[in-house]
Amino acid sequence: MAEFLLELFSEEIPARMQVKAADDLKDLITKGLTDKGLTFTKAEAHSTPRRVTIVVDGLPLENNPAPIDKKGPSITSPQQALDGFLKSIGQTNFDKCVKEETPKGTFWFYREAVKGQPTDKVLTTIIEDALNKIVWPKSMRWKSSTRQWVRPLHSIIALFDAKPVAVDFALGGGEKSVIAGKSTQGHRFLSSGKIEVSNFADYREKLKKAHVLLSREERKDIISKQSQELANKAGLKIREDEALFEEIVGLVEWPVPLVGEFEKEYLDVPQEVLISTMRGNQKYIALLDATGKLSNKFIVVANMITEDGGKQVVAGNEKVLRARLSDAKFFWDQDRRQKLESRLPALEQIPFHHKLGTVRDRVSRLHSLAQEIAELLGYDGKAAARAAELCKADLTSGVVYQFPEVQGTMGRYYALHDKEKPEIAQAIAEHYKPVGANDTCPTAPVSIAVALADKLDALVGFFAIDEKPTGSKDPFALRRAALGVIRIILENKLRVSLSMLFQKSYQLYGGKIKNLRPEADVTKDLTQFFTERLKVALKDQGVRHDLIDAVFAAKADDDLTRVVARVNAVQDFVKTEDGANLLAGYKRATNILRIEEKKDGTSYSGKDVKEALLAEEQEKNLFTALNASGGKIKSDLEKEDYKSVMSGMSGIRSAVDQFFDKILVNAPDAQLRANRLSMLASIAGTMNEVADFSKLEG
C-alpha cells in the first residue's frame, strides 16, 4: 500500500473559498479512485491561503477495475441498433458477445475482464479530470486559454509512492503548462527557494520549517490562544466571532497576533459601527471591557514575523484604522444634525424594484400594514405605524452609506437622539430580524408588528409581479423572508391568519402598481410557499414532513401556531404504543376499504353504519367507542385541547384491535359485509378528524 500527495500552489486564494475547494477536490479525487477500482484507507484535505492539498493513504500499486458487463439490444433489433451497440463496445462483430434469455426476450450481452493498470498511470487521468471539473465561485482565465482557475497557479506536487505522477495542466498566466513535480515553496516572506518533498509527513514538516502551518485547526488554535493571552494581559476579553476567526485563518500561513489601539475619542461613535469597520474592512478582532463595552484596543493577526516584534505592523494597521474611524465619526456627527423624519423625502430617490416603486412608496405601505398588524394582535398601532414610517430613513444617512451592514441599527441611534419612544427605536433596529437561522427574533410588540410588515410587504409584492423563487434562484431572499415570518409567529405564539395578512398587504398596493396578479392567485401561491417553508423550519427541529402533510390534509389552516401544535401532538401520539398500534389498524382498515371499494364500484361511509346489523360483541364495542370518541375529539379540536384529543384517540385503540382480531369483515352475508366495511370507514373518518393518517410514511 502507498500514499498519494497532491498540492496546488498558487497566488492567494480568497479565504471564503479555501475549505470548500479543498473538500470538493478531495471528493473529485476519491470518487475518481473509486470509479477506477482503487481502494484507500484515508483521505484528507488541507488548505492555506496559497495552497490546496490532498493526501490519500492506503492505495494499492495497481487498480482492480470492475469487469465490463453491458447489456445490448434484442437479437431481433434493427441493424442500426445492433451497429450502435457494437460501436459503443469497440467491436465490429458479435464474436465476443453472448446471447442470453431474459423475461423480455433474447438479448446480446458483452462481458470482458478488465486488466489492472499501475496506479500512477490511473492517477494521471483522475487528477487532470478533477482539475477540469472543480468549480470556483469566481475564476480567472488567461489569454486564449479556455481553462479557468481561481488565481495564477505556480506549481503542482503529485507524488505516488514517493514518485512523481505525470500531470500537465495548461494554466498559470501564460501558455506554458504547469507540470507536476515534487517541489513547492514556503511562506512568501519568511522563506526562500524551492522545497523538495518525498511524502506527506516530509511535506508537512518542511512546510512548518518554512513558516507554513498546513493545518487550519492548528492555525486557528494559535490565533485563539495567543489572542486570548494578549486580551488577558490587557485586562480585556475577546468579542466572540466564529465567522471572523474562520476568515482570518484563511488569510495567514503563519499567524502572529498583535495588539493595536485607537484614540478613545472614537468610542463616542456607536460600537456597532466601530466593530463593523474593524471586522469587515480590516479583519481585526474587537476587545471588550469587563462590562461588555468596546475597548479602544484590538487584535490584528499578522502573517509575518518582524525584527521589531511587530511594532511597524501594528503602527501601519493603526494608521489605516484611524482613517476609517475618522470617516465614521465625521458621518456620525453630521447625521445627527438632521432628524430621522426629515430624511423620508430622500427615500424617493432609492428604488425598491422597478415594478414596485421606490423605498418611499414601500414605507407608505409599511406604515399602514404595521398599524393593522399591531391592532390585530392587540398592540399599540400608532407606535407600530411610527416605527414603520421611520424604519428605512437611515438608508440616506452618511454612516449607513459607508457601512451598509449597520442599517436599522443606526436608525435606532438616530431615533433615540430625536427623542422617539424607546419601543419605536427598538423596532427600527429589529425590523430586519431574523436575518438568518442563527439570528434572534424580535419579541417586543412594536418590533414584531414592523418586522412582520417588512417581510410580508416584500413577499406579497414580488409574488404579485410573479417574481417568485425558482429552483436555487432567490434573488430577493423571499425564502428567508418567509422563514422569518414563520419564526416570528411561532416563537411569539401569535394567533393570526396568514391569508388575512396576505390580503391586507396586497390591498395596500391598490391601484398604484399596474399589472399585478389577481389577489386570490397570490394568496394561494403564498400559502403553498409558506407550507413548504414551514416543512423546512420544522424539519430543522426534527419534525417529519409527512406529519405536516397529514395535518394540512385533514383541515386547511393558516394559523401556524395552531398547525404546529397539532403537528407536535400527532408526532407525540404516533411515538406511543397506542399510537403505533392504532396507526397500523388505520392502515389495515383503509387498505381493505380501498380494495373492496374498487371491487364493488362504490364508496363506504362511516355514516352508513346500521347499529341493528352489529352482530358480534367486538363490532358493537367498536361502534360504541367510535361514537363516544368521535364527538369528544371534535369538541376537543375546537377547544384546541390536543392532549385530550390524543387521549380520545388512544381510547379507541383496544376496540379497533379486538375488531380486527375477531371480526371477519368480508362476511358471506352482503348486508353484514357492507356494514362492516362502513365500520372501517368510520375508523378512518374518526382518525382523519385529527390528521389524514394516510399521508404518514412507514
Residue 561 in this model has a pLDDT that exceeds 80:
yes
Q: Distance between CA 481 and CA 526 in Å, rounded?
A: 12
> Cβ–Cβ contacts within 10 Å for residue 553, how many?
14
Q: How confident is the model at residue 674 (pLDDT cuts 50, 70, 90)?
A: very high
Percent of the chain with pLDDT over 90: 78
Q: How confident is the model at residue 511 (pLDDT cuts 50, 70, 90)?
A: confident
Segment 215-273, tens digit of pLDDT: 999 999 999 999 999 999 999 999 999 999 999 999 999 999 999 999 999 999 999 99
Residues 6+ apart with CB under 8 A from 688: 554
Q: How confident is the model at residue 175 (pLDDT cuts 50, 70, 90)?
A: low
Q: Distance between CA 565 and CA 490 in Å, rounded?
A: 10
Residue 305 C-alpha cell reads as: 514575523
Segment 514-534, tens digit of pLDDT: 889 999 999 999 999 999 999
Residue 173 in this model has a pLDDT that exceeds 60:
no
pLDDT of residue 515: 86
pLDDT of residue 698: 60
Residue 1 in this model has a pLDDT that exceeds 60:
yes
pLDDT of residue 555: 79
pLDDT of residue 542: 84
Residue 357 in this model has a pLDDT that exceeds 90:
yes
Checking DSSP bridges between strand 153-160 and strand 140-141, what pairing results, if any?
unpaired
Q: Distance between CA 318 and CA 322 in Å, rounded?
A: 6
Average pLDDT, the chain: 93
Residue 172 in this model has a pLDDT that exceeds 70:
no
Segment 594-632, tens digit of pLDDT: 999 999 999 999 889 999 999 899 999 999 999 888 888
pLDDT of residue 144: 64
Q: Where are the domains of the chain?
A: 2-63+118-209, 68-112, 216-335, 344-542, 571-695
Judging by beta carbons within 10 Å of its beta carbon (0-12, 13-18, 19+), is residue 626 exposed, middle or buried? buried
| Fold entry, domain 2-63+118-209 | Alpha-Beta Plaits (3.30.70)
Torsion, CA 350, CA 353, CA 354, CA 355, rounded to 10: -140
For the chain, the farthest-separated pair of C-alpha atoms sits apart, in whole angstroms, at 103
Segment 218-233, tens digit of pLDDT: 999 999 999 999 999 9
CATH of 344-542, one of 1.10.287, 2.40.50, 3.40.50, 1.10.3210: 1.10.3210
Segment 84-130, tens digit of pLDDT: 999 999 899 999 899 999 988 999 999 887 788 899 999 999 999 99
Residue 447 in this model has a pLDDT that exceeds 70:
yes
Say whether 153 sits in a helix, a strand or coil: strand
* 568 backbone dihedrals φ, ψ, rounded to 5°: -65, -40
| Fold entry, domain 571-695 | Isoleucyl-tRNA Synthetase; Domain 1 (1.10.730)
